[in-house]
């Protein structure tokens, strides 16, 4: 199960960040003031770790302390390094530090990328391990409860639309992967097997410059690889394939997809949206695989299953924005009222699968009320995707789906209290749509 | 990767093929505060591997106010940078690369599934 979780994270966290790293820049990622304050309050001469540092926006906040940045994503780490920061590539679950080294640690927008409760706990415990007794850990995770948005489920995939991003960095700090010109963003999948093979080989993402690319295609091949291992993961892949394999995501095609639940031919595009992932007890999206869920291990909180909700998935426009909840999201230009989404079409209050809405509601507004989007509270209520207006190749090769487990109120604290007894919670609250906790390592620990 | 970073790791520097010295602004207070956190054995080992000279063998009495001592420590902790090299886990012997100044400490899938 852990292997499947790792696979999911590889597909929908690591590979996405690797592929999208060139589009990051300082401007795009917001440094949360409260985090800055936490860092500035540390005593001079402190040793601080930013676990999941991304491009390193917090690493130079306080010049009186020594801050090390760590991230799983090598391209992001390279960007941080190019800014003169001390960084390394490592895994939150296996931190390469000795016990009790750091006076303070920050984990900003990281833990929510772990796909099982056990892994989230493990990540927190690793950070606690390397903290000195009396040292403090600050954790920020995306909140399920948002002011302007509603996540229907806690486990979601959030697309990122490169089309809304400023041009990628062209300077040093770019991993020289031979990515093409900006017009051809790296894609998370191209010819499935190529892409997948490329990825397996190394940590480096196999960024293939394609105009029309299917994130799902890669999932599909990954799924096949992982099929023997874990039913749910293969379900993940196959469901995606069915979503993303059609050539055009116009309404009728999508309807067919949903109703017939059959892989369609290749699609160049798919709409941006938040796909909820939920326990798949009865998949209406059964692609002919009876074991749509990993049965025995299923545990609502802990597993990630791909199962679109009973009805059709809700396609939402949920691009990430500059004002992301988590600073380490790629910054994407947020358009008011949906401006130039996906290369040119404007947003109408319309949604791709308007006719496929569970209750069969009329297009647009009704759907939006119950639709969730993965955006910060200070973003606009979602602009719908006028998919029928979009050209197939204008759509999405640019979207990369990132996995999040959004936290309910009290969940993070509960996790610490229940499973990480070496940490004592000092304060907790909500900051810009994130649940935050500051915890201290207890003095007397074994 | 700087020796101060190295001092925090569970792996040790095994070799370096490219080392660079970068001037870093001297902040005596900062260095004085780092001294108690330094694992001297590791530091000396790293210094040896990197062929650094003039590395104090231990904190001296009144180091907080001893500028010469602090400057030496500043140099060895912060101004030396391993750009290309290798780290080694003392327990498993596993090697980790340092490339373009960045250590990569990821384990493979098999290694993590213990």
Q: Rg of the Cα trace of chain B? A: 15
Tokens describing residue A217: 């295609």
Instruction: Determine which of A28-32, A117-121, B60-64, B85-89 has the lowest per-residue pLDDT on average.
Output: A28-32
Q: Which of A89, A122, A199, A201 to mutate to probe the B interface, most B CBs <10 Å?
A: A89
CATH number belonging to domain B3-111: 2.20.25.10
Distance from CA of A63 to the nearest CA of B (A): 9
Distance, CA of A248 to CA of A310 (rounded, Å) = 23
Measure Cα distances from B62 to B55, B69, B71 in Å: 17, 10, 14
More confident residue, B63 or A390: B63
pLDDT at position A3, please? 86
DSSP A10-68: IIIIIHHHHHHGGG--TTTSPPPHHHHHHHHTSPTT-EEEEET-TTTTTTTS-TTSEEE
Distance in angstroms (rounded) separating the CA atoms of residues A244 and B95: 40
Q: Where are the domains of chain B?
A: 3-111
- Give the chain A residue nearest B79 (alpha carbons): A86
Q: What is the pLDDT of residue A16?
A: 87
Nearest C-alpha of chain A: how many angstroms from B60? Answer: 19
Q: How far apart are CA B99 and CA A128, in angstroms?
A: 28
Interface confidence (ipTM) of the complex = 0.93
The C-alpha atoms of residue A236 and residue A238 are separated, in whole angstroms, by: 6
Neighbour tally for A95: CB within 10 Å: 23
Give residue A326's pLDDT: 41
pLDDT at A22: 76
Cβ–Cβ below 8 Å for A45 and B102: no
Among A43, A68, A203, the residue with its CB nearest the CB of B5 is A68
Please give the Cα distance from A364 to A403 (Å, whole number): 26
Tens-level pLDDT at each residue, chain A (446 residues) = 788 898 889 888 888 888 888 776 544 567 889 999 999 999 998 999 999 999 999 999 999 999 999 999 999 999 999 988 999 999 999 999 999 999 999 999 999 999 999 999 999 999 999 999 999 999 999 999 988 888 889 999 888 765 545 544 443 333 434 433 433 333 333 333 333 333 333 333 333 333 333 333 333 333 333 333 344 444 444 444 443 332 233 334 334 444 443 333 333 333 334 445 443 333 333 233 333 333 333 333 333 333 333 333 333 333 333 333 343 443 333 333 333 333 333 333 333 333 333 333 344 333 333 333 333 333 333 333 333 343 444 434 446 788 999 999 999 999 999 999 999 999 999 999 999 999 999 997 55
Return the pLDDT at A138: 98
pLDDT of residue B20: 92
Q: What is the pLDDT of residue A28?
A: 54
CB contact under 8 A, A72 and B10: no
Q: Compute the nearest-CA separation of A134 from chain B (Å).
A: 15
Return the pLDDT at A25: 59
- Residue B73 has a pLDDT of 95
pTM for the full predicted model: 0.62
Pinpoint the alpha helices (H) of A208-301: 215-226, 231-244, 251-260
In whole angstroms, what is the distance from residue A361 CA to residue A369 CA?
11
**C-alpha–C-alpha distance, residues B45 and B14, integer Å:** 9
Residues of B in contact with A74 (CB under 8 A): 102, 104
Strands A434-441 and A131-142, bridge-based pairing: antiparallel
**How is chain B split among helix, strand and coil, in percent rounded to 5?**
40, 25, 35
The answer to whether A66 and B4 have CB atoms below 8 angstroms apart is: yes
pLDDT of residue A273: 44
pLDDT at B26 over 60: yes
- The pLDDT score that the predictor gives to residue A379 is 33
Query: How confident is the model at residue A29, as a pLDDT?
Result: 63
Which pLDDT value is given to residue A150? 81
Contact B103 A66 (CB under 8 A): no
Residue A183's pLDDT is 39
**Nearest chain A Cα distance for residue B97, angstroms:** 10
A–B CB contacts, 8 A cutoff, strictly below: 82
């Amino acid at each position: 199960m852990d292997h499947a979780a790792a696979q999911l994270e590889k597909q929908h966290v690591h590979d996405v960040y690797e592929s999208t790293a060139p589009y990051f820049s300082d401007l795009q990622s917001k440094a949360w003031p409260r985090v800055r304050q936490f860092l500035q309050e540390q005593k001079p001469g402190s040793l601080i770790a930013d676990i999941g540092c991304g491009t390193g926006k917090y690493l130079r906040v306080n010049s009186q302390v020594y801050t090390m940045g760590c991230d799983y994503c090598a391209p992001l780490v390279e960007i941080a390094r190019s800014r003169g920061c001390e960084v390394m590539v490592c895994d939150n679950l296996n931190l390469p530090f000795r016990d009790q080294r750091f006076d303070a640690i920050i984990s900003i927008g990281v833990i929510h990328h772990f796909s099982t409760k056990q892994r989230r706990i493990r990540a927190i415990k690793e950070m606690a391990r390397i903290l000195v007794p009396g040292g403090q850990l600050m954790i920020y995770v995306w909140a399920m409860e948002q002011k302007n948005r509603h996540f229907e489920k806690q486990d979601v995939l959030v697309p990122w639309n490169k089309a809304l991003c400023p041009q990628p960095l062209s300077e040093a700090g770019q991993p020289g992967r031979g990515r093409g010109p900006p017009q051809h963003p790296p894609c998370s999948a191209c010819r499935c097997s190529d892409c997948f093979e490329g990825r397996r080989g190394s940590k480096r993402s196999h960024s293939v410059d394609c105009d029309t690319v299917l994130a799902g295609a890669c999932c599909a091949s990954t799924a096949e690889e992982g099929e023997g291992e874990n039913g749910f993961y293969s379900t993940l892949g196959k469901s995606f394939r069915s979503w993303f394999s059609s050539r055009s995501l116009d309404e009728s095609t999508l309807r067919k997809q949903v109703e017939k639940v059959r892989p369609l031919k290749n699609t160049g595009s798919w709409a941006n949206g938040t796909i909820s992932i939920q326990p798949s007890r009865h998949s209406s999206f059964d692609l002919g695989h009876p074991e749509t869920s990993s049965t025995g291990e299923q545990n609502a909180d802990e597993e990630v299953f791909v199962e679109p909700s009973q009805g059709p998935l809700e396609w939402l426009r949920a691009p990430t924005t500059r004002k992301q909840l988590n600073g380490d999201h790629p910054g994407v230009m947020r358009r008011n009222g949906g401006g130039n989404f996906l290369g040119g079409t404007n947003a109408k209050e319309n949604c791709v699968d308007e006719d496929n809405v569970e209750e069969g509601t009329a297009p647009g507004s009704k759907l939006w009320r119950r639709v969730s989007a993965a955006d910060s509270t200070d973003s606009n209520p979602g602009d719908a995707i006028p998919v029928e207006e979009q050209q197939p190749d204008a759509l999405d090769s640019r979207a990369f789906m990132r996995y999040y487990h959004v936290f309910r109120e009290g969940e993070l604290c509960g996790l610490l209290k229940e499973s990480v007894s070496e940490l004592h919670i000092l304060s907790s609250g909500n900051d810009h749509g994130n649940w935050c906790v500051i915890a201290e390592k207890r003095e007397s620990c074994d | 990767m700087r020796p101060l970073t190295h001092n925090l790791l569970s792996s040790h520097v095994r070799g370096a093929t490219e080392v660079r010295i970068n001037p870093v602004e001297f902040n005596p207070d900062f260095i004085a505060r780092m001294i108690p956190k330094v694992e001297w054995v590791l530091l000396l080992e790293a210094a040896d591997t990197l062929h650094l000279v003039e590395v104090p063998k231990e904190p001296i009495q009144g180091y907080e106010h001893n500028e010469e001592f602090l400057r030496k420590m500043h140099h060895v902790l912060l101004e030396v940078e391993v750009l290309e090299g290798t780290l080694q886990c003392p327990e498993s012997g596993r090697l980790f690369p340092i490339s373009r100044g960045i250590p990569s400490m990821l384990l493979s899938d098999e290694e993590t599934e213990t």
